[in-house]
Structure 1
Amino acid sequence: MIRELLMRDDTLWIAHRGASAECPENTLPAFVRAAELGADMIELDVRLTGDGSVVVLHDPTVDRTTDGRGLASQMRLAELRKLDAGSWFDTRFRGTPIPTLDEVFAAVPHMCLNIELKTSPVAHTRQLIRRVLGAIYRHDARQRVLISSFDHAALAEIRRFDRDIALGVLFAGRLLEPIRLAERLGAQSLHPDIEHLDPLFVAEAKAHHLAVYAWTAQNEQAIQHALSCHVSGIILDDLRLKRGPSEPVLSSP
């Protein structure tokens, strides 16, 4: 599945932390809604709890997206599960928990997932990698995942564990020789930020058989810029902005 997506000629629409314009980010409702809205892939963030569980959470702390406070890496899974990860977004989602990666695989069993590794604290990186790969193998999901990270050393570590799983190189701003880095890692995609995107870079990456997934489109102008650069995929919050190649960009209500 993921290999076919990586080779597609048309633009993929990748749901950033799920359908995060309509549901609380990185929650099961956001992932299910993204599938309903026709996302080609779902992007999500994973990190390790204090007792070694893999949860889906962007920030190092739970402060912004739950009713709790503290570092996720210093909390046990049972503590995290008691937090409300939905009410901050809308009271309709009151009581929505922080999900585990295992739960995501079960909730959207036919979706391709772009799993971003959050490797802080760095000391837990190897354990995080092993636990993430363990979840992927348990759910027989190797063919539907793309693992990405800003931590390129972590990607190299994954490649030592698994020679074939799809990898994506995340970076912001200018990165020295990103194509060469991707080839050295055996990666399949590059994930640049939209603000620094240019068509020459995209064309060169594609010439080296690398997909280019740009992040994160927040409005029509960003989407139009990414499309004009002929990216392989656009990572966006609001899937209502996705369109076919000949359709106009629609304003969100």
Structure 2
Amino acid sequence: MNGSSAPSSGSPTSAPADAPTMPLVIAHRGASADRRENTLEAFVEAEAQGADGVELDVRLTSDEQLVLAHDPRLGDGTLIRSTTASGLREIEALETLPDALGVAPGIVNVEVKSDEPAEHLARRMKVLELVLSDLARRPAGGRYVVSTFDLDILALLASMGCEWPTAYLTMGVPKPELAMDVAASMGCTAYNPWHPEVDRALVDGAHDRGLEVWTWTVNDLDAAVGLARLGVDALITDHPAAMRAHLADAGFVARDPADEAAAARG
């Protein structure tokens, strides 16, 4: 992502000079087809499967702690934002962002979840302060992306001078070109649409605005090849190993780690 891309785990194979480069393969909540999502085991498995990075979800508890969870409620209906971190862990084992950052491979795409009422700006600020603080504590050279569906959060990230790339997630927007304009105006480096809504015009429009296209959640391998041929920059999937193998069979070449490392250094 504009200097933030992670190297592939595999070595590039011999291929024609004009062979297309494989998009980044990002493990959705870790290798979630094979391990429980948003867990350290899922992130370790993602690395074993050759993912270029992982996507994970963070939410804020009632006592202002970050936990990894996609849904606003636990399986028994407990509302995360209304429960303390310790109370949640009595019901279900939830990971923390620092622990995840310690094991996650390559790029880490932190999706900030928010089901807060619109007037609760202070809690939106708090979740971002915690996320950015946790990222800042990591060793230099880490590659992170902060993504969200929430335009208020994107605006706050811009106002806070976030030093990491940001991405605008969308699904079902009637006019993608307007959404991409918003993403570009807020300093995003990527536009992350739901994959059935991606076509050539969207990819070209994003690239014309200086935005990469990271699309989700792509588990149909043939559809992934079609998206790669459209020029998307990253495919977010539950099946990173199968995705990489299928793209390679379709003629896409794994990224050269030396080139990626040089790009990351700027």
Q: TM-score range by the shorter chain?
A: 0.7 to 0.9
| CA spacing shift, 1:246–1:28, aligned 2, 3 Å | closer
In the alignment, the residues of structure 2 paired with residue 173 and residue 155 of structure 1 have an alpha-carbon distance, to the nearest angstrom, of 18
AA matched with 2:111: E
In the alignment, the residues of structure 2 paired with residue 46 and residue 140 of structure 1 have an alpha-carbon distance, to the nearest angstrom, of 20
Q: 2:97 aligns with which of 92, 98, 101?
A: 101
- State whether structure 2 residue 160 is matched by structure 1 residue 164: no
User: Which SS does the other structure have where 2:244 is aligned?
Assistant: coil
In the alignment, the residues of structure 2 paired with residue 30 and residue 171 of structure 1 have an alpha-carbon distance, to the nearest angstrom, of 25
**Other-structure match for 1:119:** 114
In the alignment, the residues of structure 1 paired with residue 162 and residue 130 of structure 2 have an alpha-carbon distance, to the nearest angstrom, of 17
* 1:84-99 → structure 2 map (5 Å cutoff): 84=92, 97-99=93-95
User: Which SS does the other structure have where 1:213 is aligned?
Assistant: strand
**Other-structure match for 2:191:** 190
**Other-structure match for 2:69:** 57
TM-score normalised per structure 2: 0.80
**Other-structure match for 2:42:** 30
In the alignment, the residues of structure 1 paired with residue 2 and residue 181 of structure 2 have an alpha-carbon distance, to the nearest angstrom, of 22
Return 188-197 or 207-216, whichever deviates more.
Answer: 207-216
Cα displacement string for residues 103-127 of structure 1 (whole angstroms, at most 9, x for unaligned residues): 111223x531101110111422111
Q: 2:31 aligns with which of 3, 13, 19?
A: 19
Give the total of aligned pairs: 232
User: Which SS does the other structure have where 1:132 is aligned?
Assistant: helix
**Other-structure match for 2:5:** 5
Q: 2:249 aligns with which of 242, 247, 250?
A: 247
Cα displacement string for residues 138-159 of structure 1 (whole angstroms, at most 9, x for unaligned residues): 2246841100000022011011
In the alignment, the residues of structure 1 paired with residue 63 and residue 47 of structure 2 have an alpha-carbon distance, to the nearest angstrom, of 31
In the alignment, the residues of structure 2 paired with residue 162 and residue 81 of structure 1 have an alpha-carbon distance, to the nearest angstrom, of 33
* Cα deviation, residue 222, structure 1: 2.8
**Other-structure match for 2:84:** 76
**Other-structure match for 2:14:** none
**Other-structure match for 1:173:** 172
**Other-structure match for 2:264:** none
- Percent identity of equivalent pairs: 29
User: Which SS does the other structure have where 2:217 is aligned?
Assistant: strand
* Cα deviation, residue 162, structure 1: 2.1
In the alignment, the residues of structure 2 paired with residue 113 and residue 140 of structure 1 have an alpha-carbon distance, to the nearest angstrom, of 13
**Other-structure match for 2:12:** none
* Cα deviation, residue 176, structure 1: 5.0
Query: Aligned-residue CA RMSD in angstroms?
Result: 2.4
**Other-structure match for 1:224:** 225
| CA spacing shift, 1:74–1:83, aligned 2, 3 Å | same
* 1:203-222 → structure 2 map (5 Å cutoff): 203-222=204-223
AA matched with 2:216: W
Structure 1 residue ranges without an equivalent (≥5)? 85-96
Whose RCO is larger (CA < 8 A, sep 6+)? Answer: 2
User: Which SS does the other structure have where 1:55 is aligned?
Assistant: strand
Structure 2 residue ranges without an equivalent (≥5)? 9-20, 252-266
User: Which SS does the other structure have where 1:177 is aligned?
Assistant: helix
8 Å Cα contact 2:225/2:250 also seen in 1:
no
Cα displacement string for residues 2-39 of structure 1 (whole angstroms, at most 9, x for unaligned residues): 72418x95311010000000000111100111111111
Return 165-174 or 12-21, whichever deviates more.
Answer: 165-174
8 Å Cα contact 1:24/1:30 also seen in 2:
yes
Q: 1:43 aligns with which of 27, 35, 55?
A: 55
| CA spacing shift, 1:187–1:235, aligned 2, 3 Å | same
User: Which SS does the other structure have where 1:5 is aligned?
Assistant: coil
In the alignment, the residues of structure 2 paired with residue 104 and residue 180 of structure 1 have an alpha-carbon distance, to the nearest angstrom, of 32
| CA spacing shift, 1:72–1:142, aligned 2, 3 Å | farther
